[in-house]
Structure 1
Amino acid sequence: IIFTDLDGTLLDSETYSYEKSLTTINRVKENGIPIICCSAKTRAEQEVYRSELGLFHPFIVENGSAIFIPRTYFPFSFDYHKSVDDLLAIELGIPYSKVRELLDKIRRETDFRLRGFGDMSAAEVAEITGLNIEFARLARQREYDETVKLDISGKDLSKFLEKLGEAGLNWAYGGRLYHIMGGGDKGKAVETLTGLYRKMWGEIRTIGLGDSLNDLPMLAQVDIPILVQKRGCSWEDINLPRLRKVQGVGPEGWSRAIISMLPG
């Protein structure tokens, strides 16, 4: 089973294109191996990629805040929190509205300059992320975590992150923006979903691919953690037992790593 980050891993970090990984994705599908997207992206964003790539497997959204599973995917019942269309959701994070409420409280108490996607128009989100306007709209359809642009550093940043902890929130830094959530965790989500696969198939081998510190919880949970290079041909400074560092930026590294493990 392949768990993969999207931006900067399966997708190009600048263009958000999967062109360089598409041939390998199709080979994985031919071998019947599930590709599980495990990303900061929203359900709305990921559903576009799932449709375009023909992926019908479960997927993990908003930094591990929820797992969405097609209703008839597993041949047994399991605990879930809600159903959305033909998907069953296992929720690990608190609702987006609650995260926003706690962030507003911190903002009032500290005067820190921070703006979340919920404070921005789609055009503003597009400008700071490089997404096109349609994907920027989808990125604003958040259900769990808030993506925040911070104009603070040094002691103020340390104080802000401390305030998040006091409010019961956790955070992940994705290389451009901070993702603020309550309970979401890529590692917990991977562990939960792996348990369901083991119940269905017995012994399995899990592979995880990422490019940044944001992916560390996911990489720590899989049998074979793989780190692709970031733009500039460098690797994130991650130390993890069994970690494999593969040559190739983003989707090029993704393809190289996966091809080396496919049969034939």
Structure 2
Amino acid sequence: MMCNSASGSAAGFLLFTDVDGCLVNKNDYGFAPAVPVLRRLRTEGIPVVLASSKTGCELQHLAEQFELEPAPLICENGGEILWRESDGGNTRTVAGAERSKILRALNGLKPTFQFRSFADLELHGVMAATNLSEAEAIRALDRHSTEPLIWDDAPDRIPVFAEYLQEFGLTLTRGGRFWHVAGNASKGSAMDIVIQHYRSRLTTPVTTIAVGDSPIDQDMLDRADIPIAIPDPEGRFHVQVSSNGHRAGEAGSLGWAETMTRILDDVTGCD
């Protein structure tokens, strides 16, 4: 395979990617197909910005597992941005509502609607709902600006529930596995902040790639120069991409890896 040098055509590219159901398989949390692609991205000098409903604690752990170069982490669906520094230090930007405000609103709605939030499930309930280990579930509960929940009420009551949340200045969005209650922050709005950060530091134009699989990723895909949609394990798509976007042929990490490889080949001029 013949490719151009990493310092050429890949300069200025920036990758934003959802984690569960994209970079990582939704059911078994495997990511073996993505490992060589992550290594190639590192070689090409393309920053990988994880954007997830996961907490900062969870994403820091994953970034270390993936051996990612220091890059911002979009946590809790954009409610928080964790700025990872090369010296190991971190700073935070909180863009969403405080979790305490969200929990107060949800507690007030419990007599009217049937649902279970992470706070209701507690440690062992989160472990059962997510198949996470105890250590992983502890990291998932270390939340600051969002609250995932399981909807136990009738599906047609969800719009009414969302209207009640709006009265508290909160939003309700469907993720791949849970509903997520948050402030007005989103993955897309956090993406804008990160893009501006890189534009102020780069001498080349910034070209963005974004990967997602669920409606909560849509505003991130809408902002990307190159959006990528990943299907669910049954082959269904839950996000839309523009004419310059890509639809992966496989679910999870395999679809992520195959599609990213094609894009990298185009970007770097590999034969």
TM over 0.5: yes
State the shift of 1:71 in Å.
Answer: 4.5
Q: Could you say what the CA RMSD is over the residues aligned between the two structures, in angstroms?
A: 1.7
Aligned partners of 2:96 and 2:232: how far apart in 1? 28
| Percent of residue pairs bearing the same amino acid type | 28
Aligned counterpart in structure 2 of residue 47 of structure 1, from 57, 60, 68: 60
- 1:233 aligned residue: 235
State the shift of 1:4 in Å.
Answer: 0.1
Aligned partners of 2:143 and 2:179: how far apart in 1? 14
State the shift of 1:72 in Å.
Answer: 6.2
Aligned partners of 1:192 and 1:58: how far apart in 2? 10
5 Å-filtered alignment, 1:115-264, equals 115-202=116-203, 203-238=205-240, 240-262=242-264, 263=268, 264=270
Aligned counterpart in structure 2 of residue 91 of structure 1, from 81, 89, 94: 94
Please state if 1:27 is matched with 2:40.
yes
State the shift of 1:40 in Å.
Answer: 0.5
- 1:62 aligned residue: 76
State the shift of 1:191 in Å.
Answer: 0.8
Q: Using a 3 Å threshold, how does the CA distance of structure 1 residues 172 and 241 change in structure 2: closer, same or farther?
A: farther
Q: Using a 3 Å threshold, how does the CA distance of structure 1 residues 125 and 211 change in structure 2: closer, same or farther?
A: same
**1:85-129: CA deviation from partner (whole Å, max 9, x where unpaired):** 821212210111111112112224x2x122211122222111112
Aligned-partner SS, 1:28: helix
Aligned-partner SS, 2:36: helix
* TM value normalised by structure 2: 0.87
AA aligned opposite 1:251: S
Aligned-partner SS, 2:24: coil
Cα pair 2:55 2:143 within 8 Å, conserved: yes
State the shift of 1:130 in Å.
Answer: 2.0
Aligned-partner SS, 1:51: helix
Aligned partners of 2:231 and 2:171: how far apart in 1? 26
- 2:24 aligned residue: 11
Aligned-partner SS, 2:216: helix
AA aligned opposite 1:90: T
* TM value normalised by structure 1: 0.90
Gaps of 5+ in 2: 1-13
- 1:79 aligned residue: none
Aligned partners of 2:63 and 2:168: how far apart in 1? 34
Gaps of 5+ in 1: 74-84
Deviates more, 1:151-160 or 1:248-257: 151-160
**1:224-247: CA deviation from partner (whole Å, max 9, x where unpaired):** 111012111222252545332121
AA aligned opposite 1:141: D
